[in-house]
Structure 1
Amino acid sequence: MYKHRLKTSAARAALIGSARFGAAVISAAGLLVVAGAASAQEAALEEVVVTGSRIVRDGYTAPTPVTVATTEQLQKTAPGSIPDGLNQLPQFTGSKGTQNTGNQATNANSGNYLNLRGLGSVRNLVLLDGARIPPTSFDGSVDTNVIPQALVQRVDVVTGGASAAYGSDAVSGVINFILDTRYNGIKGKVQAGISGQGDDESYGASIAGGANVLGGRGHVLFSAEHYEREGLPRNEMRSQGDGWWAEVGNGKAATPYRNARPVFYQTGTFGTVFPFAVNNSRNAGNPLAGYHFLPDGTLVPFNPGVTPAGSSNIGVGGDGSPSIGHSLTGSQRTDQLFGRFDYDLTDNIKAFAQLTFSESRNEFVTIGSGTQTNDFWIYAANPYLPTWAQNALAATPGQRVSGGRIHADQPFKRVNTLNDVYTFLGGFEGKIADYNWKATYAHGDSLVRSSHSGNFNQRRWYAALDAVRGPNGNIVCNITVTNPGLMDDCVPINIFGANSPTAANWAYISQVSQYQVSQQMDIVAAEFSGDLFTLPAGPVSFAAGAEYRKQKLEQTSNSDPAIATSTLGLRANVNSTINKFNSTNVGLASGEFNAKEAFVEFAIPVLADLPFVEHLDINGAARYTDYSTSGGVTTWKIGVSYQPIEELRFRYTRSRDIRAPTLNELYAGEQAARGGFTDDLSGRNDNLLTLRSGNPNLTPEIGDTYAVGVVWQPNYIPGFSASVDYYNIEITDAIQNLDTNDANKECIASNGTSPTCAFIIRPFPFNHTPASENFPIAVRTTPFNRALEYQHGIDYEVGYRMPMEWLYDGSEAHLDLRLVGNYNPSRKSRSSETAAPIQRGNTVSGGSAFPQHRINLQANYVDGPFSLSGQVRYIGEMKRSRTPGEFYENMTIEAVTYADLTATYEFTVSEHKFDAFVTINNLFDREPPLLPNGQPGQQYPTSQAIYDVVGRYFTTGLRFEF
């Protein structure tokens, strides 16, 4: 027996007791096929209900497309964690994790935040055994690393709108982690991993167990897990990270965007530079403009290198400096505890309760070098300046010069995030006559604490920078002379030359910016399902239920940008207002909402057992949700499943889905972050302050989705199945933070008349001349309901189990093949009602990548105790841009193929099963495509959201089961 099928609401699987470590293959129809049983008598059967519908009925198949992934297969391709394996599926793109480190700590997304369809983590609903998981980040998304993975049996991914059946936020689909709640026995795993270059070590261990108690009426379940991975603390640890790559050019036909190296800042060096007036208009006519300090503190003329077209502060070659110290990947540590108890109160009523605790720690270095370009004034009386420079400045009207420095001598700036999550689920379930019912209460509590060390306390920085000779001849801070008693502890700093600042300087200036986010969620839910009556084609089934959900958010911070930092007594700051820290200024937030929901779902058999009509079923669902913040909204779904013959089935679904604004989108206080910004008006590319805040007037966004597909399982090719589904998703009134670059381009195109101009804060009116003086002071972004997201594509899947006895007489070996692919030719977005749609399909830019083709091919060969599994992951070629009139020297990004290999051997010791395995990810050590941004050294020059930057990685371990 090489295949065993039992149909239920979507599938029933034979889980083989004697081959717990055997291969599990998911057919394209969503059927679980388990290898390893020598006969049906050796198989222990257990019902597995695949999601896609809340209707549970033998013989019924929901029309909603579902991709099913077993834990075993996911761990073979990504031994680190189940979410890492999911991220390799073609349906996921742009997920956030430890590989996606940033320059700030304003987003606490350093765990594993799955992104289905690339529409954002907040648009897919994450469930554990069908129950909503509380948010673990302040943006409302869920870190899937907190899920107890040792007992996860499989993951069902509903790849389409599912809000009517499962609840709001399921615009792009549902990711449902299914636990093996009836497990009996003890099982565990230990593993270790290391990269091919001898770094990025990882370690993991887990133990799980379950047993029947109290005469078989009760059942207990537990698990404990630990996993840690060191990460890669510097970009320079991989070959492309030490070349100081940057993208230069202005995208015109004559001067297209191109990759160049070595590229350095002209407005900041390791020893301090006073930029030319062309780089910094504040230095116009200044005698020190165009000078910089050598490492030994000598002030000499500055060589800016070759300034590319369209650039104003970077040069190819020359004396400038790059940012350094950024982490390539962050470190990760997760710990999980899980416990569950259920008890049969009667033959028809069961009580259950489960408790989960998870803790996730992540750390990475932001811009370790503390980049500050065009950022401060140096005055003529500064005694650290050479005498001739002091005299030259004293002769100027302002007696000062503007400088920039990249603090390569500063201790690295680190982000630490600690995420604690507690969840409780309890309730009762049972049967009344032929009807099933369930009533539950769930509580979730998450606490995220994020700290960013090495941040400059800006008041202290500017005070220390303004050094003068004191009355006694010692070098002191100017503020201690002009305003005694205000900052008498000020420690003056010498920034002229490499390693000039002392440890005491850094200790005085550098502090920790930190914030924490507390969220609670309470849910009371009830559900009732069964068959209403019988039609000639079969029973009419239904599921109905109601839910009350309450969520609360409280965010505190030591760096609220809404609280102005005093500049009293300071004269060294360029701008008139400053935040407390030079980065990671997070505001306060507080808010709550409740939602009341009621839903109903029907499955109606229309025709059956007729010529060319094996089955014709209709599935429909409707849900009404009343939000305390925005009122009522209705979602719905209609689906048709048509099976003309036993081996062929057509399916169609159409749905209206919603995503409600998160508490952070509604009530977030102002936060400030600094990053690169390209301004076509002034022709400058520089660091800029971005201000963000919430919008309490947001309403739910609306998603319209339809999918049509076919499933083929021919009887004359045993073990073969295939499916193809076309999908179309459009989200209107989409909640989106204003893209400041898009807003600026729209403002410039309108000659300053567009409403988006209000979000670009400039020192002078829009039409001020010269335009080079009008680089923005800051940009502001806020979420709004005017955006649009649209995409369509095709999901396809082919599965085949080949018994080797076809090739070798008497062989009990078999080969399982599975191909999963996605074709996504079009993906459009619009940042506002007046903006033109931007085609992002088949493009890669910055941190976002949306390939047209993604294909996974998996093969699993099993011969007795030995199995060999291989996977090929194909990411198709992409374009740098599909915007008319935008040119790149290398417009096409080549396709990338990764290969993974796992070898497994089963053996028995004292009648206990053991399973030794070795996995090699990125077998051929494929490097990612070179895709730098415009900021030299700040990010590794590729798209880390989709490509592997670690390289070949080895993992070995041992599983056991008693």
Structure 2
Amino acid sequence: MKRIPFALRAGTALAVVAIATSASAQDNVPPPEAQQNPASTATEPSSGDDIVITGSRIRRDPLSQDSPVVFVDQADIAKTGLNSVNDVLQRLPAAAGGINSKFNNSGNLGNPPSGAGVGAGAAEIDLRYLGSARTLVLVDGLRFVNGASASGVPGSTDLNAIPDSAIERIEVLLDGASPIYGSDAIAGVVNIITKHSQEGFQASAQVGQYGQGDGTTQNYQLSWGNGSDNPVTFVVGANYVKQEGVRSEDRSISRFPQPYADSCLAGGCSGTIPLGRFRVLGEDLTLIHAVNGRPTFPDDFRDYAGNADAFNFAPYNYIQIPVERAGVFGNFKTAVTDNVNFSGKLTYNHRSSKNQAAPLPLLIGQAAGNLNLLDTIDIDATNPYNPFGVTLDESNYIVIRRRMMELGPRRFRQSVKTFYGVGTLDGKFNLGGTDWFWDLNMAYGRNKAEQTMLGNLNAARLQTALGPLAVCNATPGCVPFNIFGGAGTITQDQLDWITFEQHDESWQKQWDWTGNVTGSLFELPGGPLGIAAGFEFRKQRGAFNPDPVIAAGLGADIPAQPTSGKYNVKELYAELNAPLLKGVQFAELLELTGAVRFSDYSTSGSATTFKFGANWKPIADLRLRGSWAEGFRAPSIGELFGTFSRFDSAFDDPCSIHSALPRNFTNDAQVAANCAAQGAPAGSSTQPDDQLSVITGGNRDLKPETSKSWNFGAVYSPSFIPRFSAELNWYKIDVNDAIQAFPAQTSVENCVYNNDPTACARITRAAGDIVGIQSQLENVAGIKTKGIDFNLLYRTPKTSIGSFGFTWNNTFLQNYDLILPTGDGTQKISREGTEVGSPSQAYPKWKAIGIIDWDYAWFGSSLTGRYIKNVEESTGHDLGNKFYTDVQLRLWAGPHLVDRLGFAFGVNNLFNVKAPACFTCDVNGFDPTTYDIPGRYFYFRINAKL
């Protein structure tokens, strides 16, 4: 499929343009199937339909939620037209985005302790802007294995490793839950509930494409179950998703480094150019044109002309990377005795992905900033291509830059295989006249990621090829290298000597043993005193192994060192639910809840966390609830044991003569004096959006993070308006000893503006330019955030013109402060209403999503609106408010085949809203955590049930 016909696109737009929009397909009330498939492992619903909903392990009425939980079921997912459950979750107003298929930072983000570097194709969920490592991901109430992308050892779950066909629904708890679930549940919990019961076959096929004719995606899902009335019940399924890439050159926002620019004169292009840039003998030169053999100095050279000579690297990137996923799953359950069941779960997923960057920027010399051998390479006078007649060393050259066009683009291919299996014994027994439910679980997960990179070179071999001719001639295979001739002058035999195919890998393994028991102790005035208790023992192991050439520090792209580590944790927990009153005046319901968890980590020591809550219905129509919780997050393997790595970050040096900051070298005498004292007397030559080296790594001295969270809310469901509810929640989360790298931009500004010795110690300069910033993980002072969630839901009864559903979900970010240590105390950086840019992350003060649904006979439609309030970059640029509109039309094959055979056609971003230009973002000119890829996305789907 190359292009969806214009007439079809136009007709769809005209059909819906007159319909008013509202907001979301996510509910705050459990869907009916929740009562058949509890959120935790094992245990069947009791006769009173009490079940387990994410946020508690005590069985209760699913409508008596004492914590804010958002439910996303299969119908919600289908209405989005999206091909990854991660993309669906990232639309939630409480979600901050996270890594997704719009990330293409090849060669820039390196191999940091988070594992979110060069390896592309992963998908993560970040709640409350606290980072994906502070959101716990469960599958049927049990931990899923952390991700792997061959670029580190992540502390987060890759949602692309969970087969889509296995998912029944998703429960998102927007409350701290460490006392109930353990480490990582500081911002909330995402619990993916898989299919445990199904009658017959279900299948779907969806094909989609952007209006520009690219980004074609195929999505095929199949599952089959034998119902619930058999001695052995099972559901098995498979899925295949193939997403083609979208090239950056095919969108106007990303054709040049500056968004919506049409040339490098706008800035942002690279000073590492195909003709070469030579800061030698006190000059800043480039070639007039490419020269075969040895150029003549000075005849073949001229002064480097800045933006007029700069190289446009942007067209080589992807704005959407190619990803291919294939997965299978199986759930089964059988009775062992009348009161004991055995169940099992197996999933396997294989992800293949690609990303790409411009041809390798080769930099050698003292100001190159590679932090390896390339920074000390000399070019001998006997090199046959050296036009300067002298050996170039640290006394007479600063840096030589050459874009390696002959190598072609840097190409990265990832292959990630994930296996996850669970075995469960569960049952019930009667004690004191009440039923008690128990389960024992053993879960094992592992993954392995392999990455191949094409387009890198070996620094040791390059040194030999640029060194004395006699040494090269005496080295078998060595061919003298021509770094001076310009694009097209490096021969194949020269490339064969210096290049290599890079192979990296990473893996993680998890063993998890858990046991739970839940029941009631005795009757209170409001009902039985519910209790749950249990244990967990978990072992984690992980490793990252870069290519031996890279590990030896001899690559010309991102350096890395091997990482490996392991830990185990022993935990005990208990939870109480005490219904004090019920059915009395001013207390239709009053219950108190509490939980405690003790954790003992082999790496981080022990901790005890508590949670307390209250759930009060003064009248039948109004529920008031509140909670206070302590949180805990132990450092991950990568954070503890992650070794040295470098990533490239865009930041503005106030010492630069090109700085765009309000206070800089050219307009502030005090700044100029500070720059001179710090090694930049004549200023720096870097551009504000140049990507400069940041050195990061893990830290074995890290302490666990702790947090305190408050959540207060009200749910109003008036009896005189059936099927209507309004929900208001206020949250506040304080994270202490937050594990984070010190922001590079903040380090630079604190050093230059304040002469902060701690910040200045992180910065290395050469010839005035910043060549490296130390940014190792540390326990910074903390994070403080608070906000409000406001949700409306209304569903009409069936009428002569069908039934309608209206929902509207909002999150208002009131405050987000990052508290950082300085040389003489702390400083506060307020993020609300801003765009960080590098790494890309917007913090809008208001996000909303909602939907209007209409169903009539065998027809249906949905109209969705997504709103993002404006944010501002550090430069003062305002990204503006954005409102996206999505539409879907549904048709079943006649009244006798409703719910058996259906068709859907949809358009996302119906009105072709442009992504806002972001001048400080890492790549592609926009923030991929927050905004859509430019263009309308059309899709068509067929659903069948047999």
Where does residue 785 of structure 2 map in the other structure?
791
Residue 944 (1) aligns with residue 928 (2)? yes
Contact persistence 1:430–1:436 (CA under 8 A): yes
* Change in CA separation of 1:54 and 1:552 when aligned onto 2, cut-off 3 Å: same
* Change in CA separation of 1:507 and 1:956 when aligned onto 2, cut-off 3 Å: farther
Match runs of 1:538-577 below 5 Å:
538-559=527-548, 563=552
The Cα of 1:165 is off from its aligned counterpart by 1.2
Where does residue 646 of structure 1 map in the other structure?
620
Contact persistence 2:780–2:820 (CA under 8 A): yes
In the alignment, which of 323, 327, 337 is matched to residue 328 of structure 2? 337
The Cα of 1:46 is off from its aligned counterpart by 8.6
Where does residue 328 of structure 1 map in the other structure?
319
The Cα of 1:643 is off from its aligned counterpart by 0.4
Match runs of 1:197-346 below 5 Å:
197-212=212-227, 216-232=230-246, 234-245=247-258, 261-263=265-267, 267-275=271-279, 283-284=281-282, 286=283, 289-295=284-290, 302=302, 315=306, 317-324=307-314, 325-346=316-337
* Change in CA separation of 1:46 and 1:222 when aligned onto 2, cut-off 3 Å: farther
Match runs of 1:754-833 below 5 Å:
754=758, 756-762=759-765, 773-803=767-797, 805=799, 810-811=800-801, 813-832=802-821
Where does residue 412 of structure 2 map in the other structure?
415
In the alignment, which of 145, 160, 167 is matched to residue 175 of structure 2? 160
The Cα of 1:436 is off from its aligned counterpart by 0.4
Aligned counterparts of 1:126 and 1:662: Cα–Cα separation in 2? 15
The Cα of 1:81 is off from its aligned counterpart by 2.0
Contact persistence 2:886–2:909 (CA under 8 A): yes
Percent identity reads 25
Where does residue 900 of structure 1 map in the other structure?
886
Post-superposition Cα deviations, 1:547-584, rounded to whole Å, max 9, x if no partner, equal 11111112222247664xxxxxxxxxxxxxxx311223
Contact persistence 2:504–2:545 (CA under 8 A): yes
Quote the RMSD (CA, aligned, Å): 3.0
Match runs of 1:690-705 below 5 Å:
690-705=694-709
Aligned counterparts of 1:752 and 1:603: Cα–Cα separation in 2? 52
* Change in CA separation of 1:411 and 1:735 when aligned onto 2, cut-off 3 Å: same
| Residue identity opposite 1:701 in structure 2 | E
* Change in CA separation of 1:402 and 1:636 when aligned onto 2, cut-off 3 Å: closer
| TM-score between both structures, scaled by the size of structure 2 | 0.84
The Cα of 1:292 is off from its aligned counterpart by 2.8
- Partner SS for 2:532: strand
Post-superposition Cα deviations, 1:643-689, rounded to whole Å, max 9, x if no partner, equal 01111111101100111100111112223344545443443435544
In the alignment, which of 464, 467, 470 is matched to residue 481 of structure 1? 470
* Change in CA separation of 1:34 and 1:902 when aligned onto 2, cut-off 3 Å: farther
In the alignment, which of 54, 61, 68 is matched to residue 71 of structure 2? 68
* Change in CA separation of 1:492 and 1:662 when aligned onto 2, cut-off 3 Å: same
- Partner SS for 1:482: helix
* Change in CA separation of 1:817 and 1:295 when aligned onto 2, cut-off 3 Å: farther
* Change in CA separation of 1:719 and 1:516 when aligned onto 2, cut-off 3 Å: same
| Residue identity opposite 1:110 in structure 2 | G
Where does residue 932 of structure 1 map in the other structure?
919
Where does residue 750 of structure 2 map in the other structure?
746
Residue 876 (1) aligns with residue 879 (2)? no
The Cα of 1:381 is off from its aligned counterpart by 5.1
- Structure 1's unaligned 5+ residue stretches are 1-23, 36-44, 249-258, 276-281, 306-314, 467-477, 564-578, 764-772, 882-886
Post-superposition Cα deviations, 1:877-914, rounded to whole Å, max 9, x if no partner, equal 11223xxxxx53x3x22101111111111126996911
Between 106-115 and 649-658, the greater mean CA deviation after superposition: 106-115
Where does residue 860 of structure 1 map in the other structure?
853
Aligned counterparts of 1:907 and 1:939: Cα–Cα separation in 2? 45
Where does residue 432 of structure 1 map in the other structure?
429
The Cα of 1:495 is off from its aligned counterpart by 4.4
Post-superposition Cα deviations, 1:33-66, rounded to whole Å, max 9, x if no partner, equal 699xxxxxxxxx9987432211112477232111
| Residue identity opposite 1:32 in structure 2 | P
Contact persistence 1:190–1:959 (CA under 8 A): yes
Where does residue 941 of structure 2 map in the other structure?
957
Contact persistence 1:381–1:390 (CA under 8 A): no
Contact persistence 2:353–2:415 (CA under 8 A): yes
Aligned counterparts of 1:818 and 1:58: Cα–Cα separation in 2? 23
Residue 536 (1) aligns with residue 525 (2)? yes
| Residue identity opposite 2:288 in structure 1 | F
Between 534-543 and 945-954, the greater mean CA deviation after superposition: 945-954
- Partner SS for 1:879: coil
Contact persistence 1:273–1:290 (CA under 8 A): yes
Contact persistence 1:62–1:619 (CA under 8 A): no
In the alignment, which of 555, 561, 573 is matched to residue 587 of structure 1? 561
| Residue identity opposite 1:418 in structure 2 | S
Contact persistence 2:646–2:695 (CA under 8 A): yes
* Change in CA separation of 1:463 and 1:94 when aligned onto 2, cut-off 3 Å: farther
* Change in CA separation of 1:839 and 1:273 when aligned onto 2, cut-off 3 Å: same
* Change in CA separation of 1:684 and 1:845 when aligned onto 2, cut-off 3 Å: farther
- Partner SS for 2:156: coil
Contact persistence 1:370–1:410 (CA under 8 A): no
The Cα of 1:238 is off from its aligned counterpart by 0.4
| Residue identity opposite 1:238 in structure 2 | R
- Partner SS for 2:760: helix
The Cα of 1:447 is off from its aligned counterpart by 1.1
Aligned counterparts of 1:511 and 1:484: Cα–Cα separation in 2? 21
Aligned counterparts of 2:496 and 2:392: Cα–Cα separation in 1? 35
Where does residue 450 of structure 1 map in the other structure?
451
Aligned counterparts of 2:863 and 2:517: Cα–Cα separation in 1? 43
Where does residue 917 of structure 1 map in the other structure?
904
In the alignment, which of 490, 495, 503 is matched to residue 479 of structure 2? 490
Contact persistence 1:75–1:85 (CA under 8 A): no
The Cα of 1:927 is off from its aligned counterpart by 1.2
Contact persistence 2:50–2:62 (CA under 8 A): no
* Change in CA separation of 1:501 and 1:421 when aligned onto 2, cut-off 3 Å: same
Post-superposition Cα deviations, 1:272-327, rounded to whole Å, max 9, x if no partner, equal 1234xxxxxx542x4xx34433256786565655xxxxxxxxx4x42332324122
Contact persistence 1:304–1:319 (CA under 8 A): yes
Residue 135 (1) aligns with residue 146 (2)? yes
Aligned counterparts of 1:915 and 1:60: Cα–Cα separation in 2? 31
Residue 631 (1) aligns with residue 639 (2)? no
How many residue pairs are counted as aligned between the two chains? Answer: 843
The Cα of 1:204 is off from its aligned counterpart by 1.7
Aligned counterparts of 1:643 and 1:27: Cα–Cα separation in 2? 24
* Change in CA separation of 1:957 and 1:47 when aligned onto 2, cut-off 3 Å: farther
Contact persistence 1:246–1:932 (CA under 8 A): yes
Aligned counterparts of 1:147 and 1:950: Cα–Cα separation in 2? 28
Contact persistence 1:762–1:775 (CA under 8 A): yes
Contact persistence 2:378–2:393 (CA under 8 A): no
Post-superposition Cα deviations, 1:82-130, rounded to whole Å, max 9, x if no partner, equal 2211111111113101101113252245311111112111110001110
Contact persistence 2:915–2:934 (CA under 8 A): no
- Partner SS for 2:97: coil
Between 66-75 and 817-826, the greater mean CA deviation after superposition: 66-75
The Cα of 1:777 is off from its aligned counterpart by 4.0
Where does residue 361 of structure 1 map in the other structure?
352
Between 411-420 and 165-174, the greater mean CA deviation after superposition: 411-420
Where does residue 491 of structure 2 map in the other structure?
502
Contact persistence 2:260–2:917 (CA under 8 A): no
In the alignment, which of 837, 841, 848 is matched to residue 832 of structure 2? 841
The Cα of 1:371 is off from its aligned counterpart by 5.8
* Change in CA separation of 1:505 and 1:866 when aligned onto 2, cut-off 3 Å: farther
